[in-house]
């Protein structure tokens, strides 16, 4: 997708603030690994003109 790690991290942080994803951390091969999982099962958007 050609996106920087900083940009992806910022977007994940925004989704976490909105409570759409849950973030946990685990040891990785080199440092700490961020694990993201969905916090909701369904999102419904109603758009009216």
**H or E, element range at 32:** strand 31-38
SS (H, E, C) 1-49: CCCCHHHHHHHHHHHHHCCCEEEEEEEECCEEEEEEEECCCCCCCCCCC
Question: What is the extent of the structural domain holding 4?
Answer: 1-49
pTM score of the predicted model: 0.72
Q: Provide the pLDDT for residue 1.
A: 77
**Per residue in 1-49, pLDDT tens?**
799 999 999 999 999 999 999 999 999 999 999 999 999 999 999 999 9
Residue 18: both structure tokens together? 């909105």
Rounded Cα distance between 21 and 32, Å, is 18
Q: What domain count does the chain have?
A: 1
Q: Are 34 and 28 in contact (CB under 8 A)?
A: no
């Amino acid at each position: 997708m050609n996106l920087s790690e900083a940009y992806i991290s910022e977007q994940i942080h925004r989704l976490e603030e909105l409570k759409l994803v849950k973030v946990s951390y685990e040891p990785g091969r080199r440092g700490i690994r961020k694990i993201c999982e969905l916090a909701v099962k369904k999102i419904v958007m109603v758009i009216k003109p």
